[in-house]
Every structure is written in structure tokens, then in C-alpha cells.
Structure 1
Amino acid sequence: MHGRRSRRKGRLLVGELSPYLHELAVQAATHFGQHTQTSITFTYQGAVVRAASSDEPAARCDQVEARTGTGPCVQAMDQLHAVLVPRIPDDGDAWAQWRDQALAEGFVSAVAMPAHVRPGVAVTLNLYSGEPDPWDAQALLDADAHVQAVAVALRARLTEPVPTLDREVRRALDARALLDHAVGVLMHANASTPQEVSEVLSRMSIEGDLSLEQAAVLVLRSLEPSADVDALPTPNRPSD
């Protein structure tokens, strides 16, 4: 598959915005061998965001799921149960856009392994291969271990306080700038249009009982670990 040599050197993909999740995706792909590409996607109250991928083909597949809201990883996160696709069908109505993209990338099998992060938030580690059903029972256990590690990292990022900006910089970073930055991040992550991204943020806001600014902060805290934004204030968020 494409991207193998550059991936092993740990280089970020074009437009990749989350180095720490990218590294976890690369580690997982390395563990499973050259027949596997990986991608990490999370959902917040039904809003789907592709966070990181080991290779461009896997990224494009997860971006389709994020934009359409359908696919094995979305189902896995909804049900918190692994979805195994030992042979991707070449026809049928189920996940049609994801299926077409996966087949176009040369994949013939996939696995979506989910993990709970906190109420309303889940994450999946998605495995893609150009070989039919290459993962045995031990590989699936390993995939679960990897996604649990991703969930721990994401949970810490979403709940632990981070340093605040200098007062002058913080005053300059008004709500509009914060939203614009989050829109740019999501456009890169999901390969989405501004309108599609606005719908994602609105869904996060409505379903999560957040302001748009709080939804934007959640996105930035998830995808940009170096972003100096205040701890997400969510007084109505259910306790973990």
C-alpha cells in the first residue's frame, strides 16, 4: 500500500493536525504489519471527526465516514461493539460511499474497534487491509488494547486542565477567532466544506448542551495538544 516508507519515519500526513494521535495510529499500523493501515476517528454526541491516520488511503476512507455519518466505524462507536468486515462487498446499499472509497483505495477488508471515552464520546481504531480477513483473534485483542490506549489519551486531553494563554493574547483570541480556528481544523481533519463543518459544530453544541465556543474548544483540545485553550467549561455535562 502507499505511504509505507514515509509512515515508518513518523512523518505527518499532509494536513494532519494531531501529532500525538498520529503517532498512536502509526504505532498500531506498525504493530499489525505492512498489510494494515490504520485510522483513528472519534464521535461527540453524534458528530464524527477523523482525528489521525497512518496513511493517506486510510485517512480518505475515514473522512468519507466523518462526512456522511455512516460506515463501520460510526456503527462501532454507536454500539460500542467491534464491527468486522472480512470482505468488503462490491455492491449493496450498506455504507455505500465508504465501501466505494475503500475499494477504490485497494482495501478488501476492515475492522472498526471502538472504546468509550466519556459519556457521549467514543473513539475507534480502524484497520484497513488489501488482503481478505488478515486479522486473527489475537490481532483483534491487540486492536482492542490499542484503542483503549487511545481512549485513555483522549480522555486525559478532554478532562485535565491545560495552561491558559497570556492575558493579552487571551483577550485577542475572541470567540470568533476561536470558532474560525476550529472550523479550519475540522476542514483539514474531515476534508469537509465550511458548511459541513458548521453543521458538525452545531450538532456538538445542541446534542452536548454546549455553546459553539465550548464545542470549538473541545475540537481543539482533542486534535491540537499544543493548543493553549482554557479547560472546557461544561456545567451541564453528565459526570463520568
Structure 2
Amino acid sequence: MVISRYLHEYATRAAGLLGDDVEASITMRQHGLTLRGGSSTPDAARCDQAEAMADAGPCVEAMTTATILVVPSVEDDDRWLAWREQSIKEGFVKALALPARVTPGIVVALNLYSRSPAAWEEKMVRAGDSYARLIASGVRLQLEFSDLEDAAASLYQAMSGTVAVERAVGAIIQTNDCTEAQARDLLRTAAEDQGVGERTIAVTILRSLAVGGPGRRR
């Protein structure tokens, strides 16, 4: 099971359902670490990558505060500079971040981007919110299956801290399309912020993304 594959499919379906002028991405935040989940287009993915690496943007704030965040004008919003710069570069003029809780410590956000200057309609916000909750339910179900698989195989109990961290670093590189040094810094910062060991954060990442390989290095 690869949850990241499901998130990509969810993002693609969300874009198709919510409008011709909408592009979608899904971001996950777990124990203080932001990871890209999936995107309907490379343009939306690059915006979410900028946000994940800066750990600042509308979806990060939406997930942190558990509130829907509307950005009516990307150009006029200077709260998240890296995300804003990338979004303008991709030609997006407005955005919408819709968070949904998966489990304690894990939240997803459906991020909608558009090049249309028209204001977000209320029915679009409601539809997006419903879809975000559907995504969270799907991820929750996949994690429950993962729990059963882990229990049957004792998968992570026997994994050393070093192996878990190295595999998690690979997963972060793949997910956020970043360098090894950046991935290690994200993992270390998340562990420090949560007051836990890096192995704890690493195992959480591996379980939620179901990525076991070493990943590519830059």
C-alpha cells in the first residue's frame, strides 16, 4: 500500500470535480512535519513544494489552525513569501486551503489553485471542504489497514533507529523533492519541536507514506 499514490489520485479527482479552472494538491502534516502528498498538475506540485520546504503557506496555516483559509489574491498576500513567489510564477491568482483531521497528530489539507480572478464561490468552498474530509477518511482507513499489516509483520519493532531514519530521509526526498541535507534538517527539526527522538518521527513518516526504499540522493 502506498498512500502517496492514493493522494495523487484524490488530487486529480478533486481538480476534475471542482472545476475546469481548478488545480489541486494535497499536503500532509504529521507531528510538525509538512509533506507533499499528491497533485493534479506539476504547477500545483511546485507551489506545494515551496510551501513544504519553507514550512509556511496557506495549507500549513490551515492545518495548524484547523480552519479553512481563503486567499482571494495571491499577488496581494505577502504572508508566505516563498509560496507566493512560486504561485505567481505558475500564474495562479487565487488559492484555497481546506484542512481535515486524519488522526491525532496527522492532518491533511486540500489545496486549490486557480488562474481565474473571480472570487471563490461559497458552493466551491463547501464542496472542497467535503472532499477534504473524504480524503482524510480515506487516509484514515488506509492507516488502519497499515496498523493491521504492521502488527502481523512486526514491521517496525525490529527496525533499528538508523534504518528507520535513513528510510524516512529517502521518503522525504521523494515526497518533497528536496536534497538529502534538507530532508535531514526537516526530520531533525520536527523531532526537536515534538520533543521526541528522530526514530519516532521517522516511523510515523514511513507508516503514513508507506515508502520503504532509500529514495534518490542529490
1:129 aligns with 2:117: no
Q: Give the corresponding residue for 1:7.
A: none
TM-score, normalised relative to structure 2: 0.84
Q: Is the 8 A contact 1:17 1:185 kept in 2?
A: no
Q: Is the 8 A contact 1:39 1:62 kept in 2?
A: yes
* Compared CA separation, residues 84 and 93, structure 1 to 2 (3 A): closer
* Compared CA separation, residues 93 and 32, structure 1 to 2 (3 A): closer
Worse-matched range after superposition: 77-86 or 151-160:
151-160
Aligned pair count reads: 209
Structure 2: 5+ residue runs without aligned partners?
Answer: 214-218
* Compared CA separation, residues 162 and 205, structure 1 to 2 (3 A): farther
The CA RMSD measured in Å over matched residues stands at: 2.7
Structure 1: 5+ residue runs without aligned partners?
Answer: 1-15, 229-240
CA positional deviation for 1:134:
5.3
* Compared CA separation, residues 185 and 34, structure 1 to 2 (3 A): same
TM-score, normalised relative to structure 1: 0.77
Q: Which structure: greater helix fraction?
A: 2
For residue 113 of structure 1, the aligned residue among 94, 98, 112 is 98
CA–CA distance in structure 1, aligned partners of residues 43 and 119 of structure 2: 18
CA positional deviation for 1:212:
2.0
Identity %: 35
Cα deviation, 1:192-224, whole Å, max 9, x if unaligned, reads: 222221222223333445432231221122223
1:58 aligns with 2:47: no
CA positional deviation for 1:46:
2.4
What SS does the aligned partner of 1:27 have?
A: helix
CA–CA distance in structure 2, aligned partners of residues 227 and 198 of structure 1: 16
CA positional deviation for 1:141:
0.7
Q: Is the 8 A contact 1:70 1:98 kept in 2?
A: yes
* Compared CA separation, residues 174 and 88, structure 1 to 2 (3 A): same
